[in-house]
A and B are shown apart, each in its own frame.
Chain A
Amino acid sequence: MFDHGQPSYAEVNKDVLSTMLETGRGYWILLGSTMSVAGICFFMPWIYQLFVGIGAAGMNRNSVWGTYISNFIFWIGLSHSGTLLSAVLHITNSQWRKSIYRSAEAMTLFSLMTAALFVMVHVGRVWFVHWTFPIPNQMGLWPNFRSPLMFDVMAITTYLTASSIFIYMGSVPDFAAVRDASTGLRRRLYTIFSFGWRGTAKEWHTLGWAYTFFAVFVIPLAVSVHSIVSWDFALSIVPGLHHTIFAPYFVCGAIYSGTAGIVTVMYCLRKFLNFERYIGQEHLNNLGKLLITLSLIWSYINMLELFSTWYGGTSFELEATRFRLTGFYAPLYWEMILFCAFVPLLMLSRKIRLSWNKMLVISILINIGMLTERFIIVATSLPRKFLPDAFGFYFPNWIEISITIGSFGIFATLFLIFIKWVPAVSIYEVKETLNPLRRNG
């Protein structure tokens, strides 16, 4: 598992904590850049839209959903691998999970936060967003729980809460390690964060049980979240959206893009935080195999969608599919197929699976493809439903494109803040993978 020799227990503490406690100039420059992108590209256009109204975005009467919703799905999707993968690998007691799961879970959390921001941008009058919460409004009216949008609110709130607790509880012993290694205000803060953790057998025992239960709860939750997001579309009768395959399609796509996201994040952690010792080729190899499997499932579902449309023979569905395959957005569709169905096949080669640079490129291409997939779902269905005289067209304008770019700045900013507050690699779980400290070696 360790490409550069096995570290000692003390070295694990030192290596991981140094990434938090020692901050170079490069970090501040990077943080400043990502914050600038978030501020200029995301928040400024959003503030403009708040003043002008939702009409400032490129959505119109036919296309009431646009890039904001496709970005929302993309970020929810990206959130899917972290916590889910971590929970599944925890239950199955996979050792290779231990170096990478903390950052993967953080990715989940920050993707979810970014996704939640898109809901606020999309609704326009964000000051009424509390109407979606399960509380009565000033007219004594409660939300309608028969609506898939309410399913969504409940699912995402639950997922955000569960993921936050999952990552926090897994970090408690490491917060104690930070506490012990620091002084002054930081020490006081981490004394609070770590709940006074001492590492007694009883504490480990209780944490082990609680953590396993969190994992057991999180796995069906993660599957339900993206199923529910798919029902936002599939429970309508719009051609191109009304498919029973949508829930597994979305869940598979979410795990797929999330796993690709993990590869990208792991590359950055290795490169910029010098975690080469802890994140090795075994991790890359396993993630590569997982990506191939997910790519094949994703491709199969895509073929199935086309087949069921053709076999069903409904004129509306056939027209929606024709437009998707040969219409204005056809280049995007085929780009998606290329990046998500064919490019990942390169990973069948072990040589490619073990190359960090090649895997980085493939993981980014997969996520470009997945971002495109979500855009196609929105842009080629709603504006062209049923009768041709009602057909419209949707193309994102500069505000939507800018906000899309800015969302990556938000995600990167949150992640950069995270790596200075929480050990990006789990100290105690990495120690568990080392040879035990025994007298006879």
Chain B
Amino acid sequence: MAVVATFAYEDAFLAAAEKLKSSGFDDMELLSPIPLEEAQEILGLGKSPVRRFSLAGAIIGAASGFAMCVATALVFILPTGGRAIIAIPPYFVITYEMTILFGVLFTLIGFHVVSGLPAWNDKPYLEEANIDRFVVVVDSGSGEQLAQAESIIRQAGAEEIRHVEVE
């Protein structure tokens, strides 16, 4: 069983979230139609691990870009006008592009890994949360704890409170 509460106002929603957090409801979810930095702060979401994926991608891209140029030049040695077989200046361009390509691709992977998306399984969700309502979901804890959560939410000024079965 989960408590799903809808708020019409951002400040009431944030006040409820803060109170719930201080009461020990660490697993709650906060749904909003726009990104809210305050909500992220309440949940203690600091620097995202996505940045590590970006860095790893950029490093792997740079190394593999340069390696690809060198390896392909050595597979079939093609001397032209006395130029170096392994030529650093032109290979730098390919390295640069591959750094960015892999950086972007790894950031994309990082987004999916960290956010847990795609997630098509049924989780508590209200369509209004993507329009103009703010939603708090508390779906862990005993019946007593859920009753306490509901009381906090009600005091904060929730517009509507529903009880939803969760898997």
Instruction: Evaluate whether A213 and B131 lie within 8 angstroms (CB atoms) in the complex, with A195-B117, A202-B45, A203-B117 already known.
Output: no
B52 to chain A, nearest CB (A): 11
Count residues of chain A with CB under 8 A from any CB of chain B. 63
Complexed CA–CA distance, A191 and B9 (Å)? 27
**B45, A439: Cβ atoms under 8 Å?**
no
B145 within 8 A of A: no
Which residues of chain A are near B146, meaning CB under 8 Å?
none
**A140, B76: Cβ atoms under 8 Å?**
yes
A354 within 8 A of B: no
Query: Of B115, B119, B129, which is in contact with the most chain A CB atoms at under 10 Å from its CB?
Result: B115
B54 within 8 A of A: yes
Which residues of chain A are near B107, meaning CB under 8 Å?
210, 213-214, 217
Instruction: Evaluate whether A202 and B90 lie within 8 angstroms (CB atoms) in the complex, with A142-B72, A180-B130, A438-B11 already known.
Output: no
B162 within 8 A of A: no
**B83, A146: Cβ atoms under 8 Å?**
yes
Which residues of chain B are near A439, meaning CB under 8 Å?
9, 11-12, 157
A231 to chain B, nearest CB (A): 8
B133 to chain A, nearest CB (A): 9
**B29, A9: Cβ atoms under 8 Å?**
no
**A206, B100: Cβ atoms under 8 Å?**
no
B161 within 8 A of A: no
**B117, A154: Cβ atoms under 8 Å?**
no
Complex partner residue of A201 from B39, B101, B120, B157, CB under 8 angstroms: B39
B143 within 8 A of A: no
B-side residues, CB < 8 A to A, are 8-12, 29-36, 39-40, 42-43, 45, 47-48, 50-51, 54, 68-69, 72-73, 75-76, 78, 80, 83, 87, 90-91, 93-94, 96-98, 100-101, 103-105, 107-108, 110-112, 114-121, 123, 125, 127, 129-132, 134, 157
A-side residues, CB < 8 A to B, are 8-10, 13, 134, 136, 140-147, 150-151, 154-155, 157-158, 161-162, 165, 169, 172-173, 176-177, 180, 191-192, 195-210, 213-214, 217-218, 220-221, 224, 228, 428, 431-432, 436-440
